[in-house]
Structure 1
Amino acid sequence: MHSLSMGTMDASVVRSNRSLLLLMLFTALLFLGMPDALAHAVAEGDKGFIQESSGVMVLPFIYMGAKHMITGYDHLLFLFGVIFFLYRLKDVGLYVTLFAVGHSVTLLLGVLAEINFSSYVIDAIIGFSVVYKALDNLGAFQRWFGHQPNTKAATLIFGLLHGFGLATKIQEYEISADGLITNLIAFNVGVEIGQLLALSAILIVMGYWRRTASFWRHAYTANVAMMSAGFLLMGYQLTGLIVSQ
């Protein structure tokens, strides 16, 4: 009888922690290629294609945009934080749209108007956005300052900054002016497609995890881990900035 009870309890523990383990595995897989992602790097093959292409090339740029977002670990970490406590799809859609609008505006504006920042500085700020969202989820601002920042405004603002991150990187390449606007729009469409695919996967895992007893037990730990990842992103970029001087 004692053995059966222990077995039942062990099985319950395994089930309750399965979603957390899946989430941790997903995060670990995201960071396997972290050095490239931390700098918003474009793969060498894609880089060569961008530099050598001329004229309108819609499908290839859609593909590259989707590929960038799916492997854009800093973007995905921020989105993970944004949707962490959002249960209604309407709310998820609103916040993701705010992020997408911000990201799209500065991606296009940054490249077309040749607005350039240090990639290290902007990527460090993007790392800070992950830290900020984790602290927001932990209720830190309410405890520290007695005030809750406007989460919608913060999502839009950080979306603008995330867009500048990619725009800054793209400007480092010699992009043909022939078909530039169309190709940039196609690239941005690809980014949104990739974001939708990645977000769908995250929502599936989150939905399963939220139905278990372990969600509230480990929500704090998950956000602390996300905050730590944000500090890692910041430190990596600031170190790169110092070394590059």
Structure 2
Amino acid sequence: MLAGVRQGAVVAGVVAATVLAVPGAAWAHGVGGSSDTVGGFVWLGTKHMLAGWDHLAFVGGILLLAGEIRRAAKLISLFALGHSVTLFTATVADWHVNPVLVDIVVALSLVFVGVVGLRGRPKDWTWFAAAVLAFGLVHGLGLSTRLQDLGLPSDGMIPRVLAFNVGVEIGQLIAVVAMFMLGDVLSHYLPKLRNPRLSHGALIAAGVVAASILAFTSGGQALRPVQAEPAVGACTVRDRTETFPAGGGHPAKDFSEPGETVPATSFGHVIGDGYVIVNYRPDLTAEQLAQVRAFVTDPTAGRIVGGPAPDQTAAVKAVHAYRTATCNAVDIDAVRQFTRDWFADPRSKPAE
């Protein structure tokens, strides 16, 4: 069994990681950053796991519930196997799953672990191990949906996905060690955190709150099937998962140059008015940049704004309220067709 102080450490770590992270982080799967190298994807995976509070809270719940180091290692290995399988398969096979629905199920996995913990450790661990594997498969789908948003190139995709997965496992290992270290400190100064029921209750509360936030702020997206279209030129079109901060007005100009600050809140405002947002990688060649600039500033093209996206791997992304065109090369004809299709849609018309 885990020694008393160690178990108290796990409890404290789970409570701290869960309670402190939930309020502003229901959407926990964004993969920030980009890289042109395979090795860089190891860092992206590590960073994503360390920022993924729901993954870490689930792992912490398993550690607490297992009670034994050997059993905990087996269960976490099953979880890692599950999310590795679906991360690789869904990304390479280009599966399109509903990211909001996946995130809700991930949040509910915390509720599951918390409820099991309150009822007491299972006498037969077989069914619980199967559930951990199943939730691992779902967590992997969450990782895949966000990794695909980076616009992975078809050339060299598999090494990048494998490198990202290695980074995820490194991040998970770092987090487990950090959880014990943080827990040792917290349980020393806050001995009440050694009560396992507090941790299980925190997991349940975190899962319910996160799932509720996701369900009520998605505008029904969790219930809509994901639609994917064949590639158009160098672009692939799918349901939008990108978010933009609110609170701005209309941007002062339609096109922001490389090195200029993109008015993200303004983009968040105009996307609700039926605009198309064109984000481009700032290291495009002068000729490619000129093509993007000419398209965005063309008065006959429609309601379009654009700017650089330093954390973007794809050459160009065009986004409207419902769909995203991810282009691994600058294909203005494909982007133009994407915008024309949107402006022909009655939903693109701004409210009177």
What is the SS of the residue equivalent to 1:150?
A: helix
The residue number in structure 1 matching 2:135 is 158
Distance 2:160 2:85 in 1: 15
Distance 1:88 1:20 in 2: 14
1:233 CA drift (Å):
1.4
* 2:72 aligned with 1:92: yes
* 2:38 aligned with 1:34: no
Matches within 5 A, 1:56-135: 57-135=37-115
What is the SS of the residue equivalent to 1:175?
A: coil
1:23 CA drift (Å):
5.5
Structure 1 residues 170 and 155, CA gap change in structure 2 (3 angstroms): same
Same amino acid, percent of matched pairs: 30
Q: Number of aligned pairs?
A: 213
**Residue by residue, what CA displacement relative to the aligned partner does 1:46-77 show, whole Å, maximum 9, x if unpaired?**
1xx25xx4xxx222100000000001011011
Distance 1:18 1:112 in 2: 39
* 2:158 aligned with 1:181: yes
The residue number in structure 2 matching 1:235 is 212
- Confirm or deny: 8 A CA contact 1:120 1:240 kept in the other structure: no
The residue number in structure 2 matching 1:10 is none
- Confirm or deny: 8 A CA contact 2:18 2:206 kept in the other structure: no
Distance 1:138 1:101 in 2: 26
Pick one of 208, 211, 225 that aligns with 2:202: 225
1:188 CA drift (Å):
0.3
Task: Kindly indicate whether structure 1 or structure 2 has the higher relative contact order, using CA contacts under 8 Å at least 6 residues apart.
Answer: 1
Structure 1 residue ranges (4+ consecutive) displaced by more than 6 angstroms after TM superposition: 17-22
The residue number in structure 2 matching 1:197 is 174
Distance 1:28 1:133 in 2: 15
- Confirm or deny: 8 A CA contact 2:12 2:199 kept in the other structure: no
Distance 1:24 1:129 in 2: 16
Between 1:27-36 and 1:123-132, the stretch displaced more is 27-36
Between 1:150-159 and 1:172-181, the stretch displaced more is 172-181
- Normalising by structure 2, we get a TM-score of 0.54
What is the SS of the residue equivalent to 1:82?
A: helix
1:139 CA drift (Å):
1.0
The residue type equivalent to 1:99 in the other structure is: F
Distance 2:103 2:89 in 1: 18
- Confirm or deny: 8 A CA contact 2:11 2:64 kept in the other structure: no
The residue type equivalent to 2:130 in the other structure is: A
> Which structure would you say has the larger Rg?
2
From the two aligned structures, give the one with the greater helix fraction: 1
The residue number in structure 2 matching 1:11 is none
The residue type equivalent to 2:31 in the other structure is: V
The residue number in structure 1 matching 2:335 is none
1:148 CA drift (Å):
8.0
Distance 2:144 2:45 in 1: 12
Aligned-residue CA RMSD (Å): 3.0
From the two aligned structures, give the one with the greater strand fraction: 2
Structure 2, unaligned stretches of length 5 or more?
1-7, 225-352
Distance 2:31 2:74 in 1: 29
Structure 1, unaligned stretches of length 5 or more?
1-16
Structure 1 residues 28 and 107, CA gap change in structure 2 (3 angstroms): same
Structure 1 residues 155 and 167, CA gap change in structure 2 (3 angstroms): same
What is the SS of the residue equivalent to 2:66?
A: coil
**Residue by residue, what CA displacement relative to the aligned partner does 1:110-151 show, whole Å, maximum 9, x if unpaired?**
111112211000100001111011001111898xxxx98711
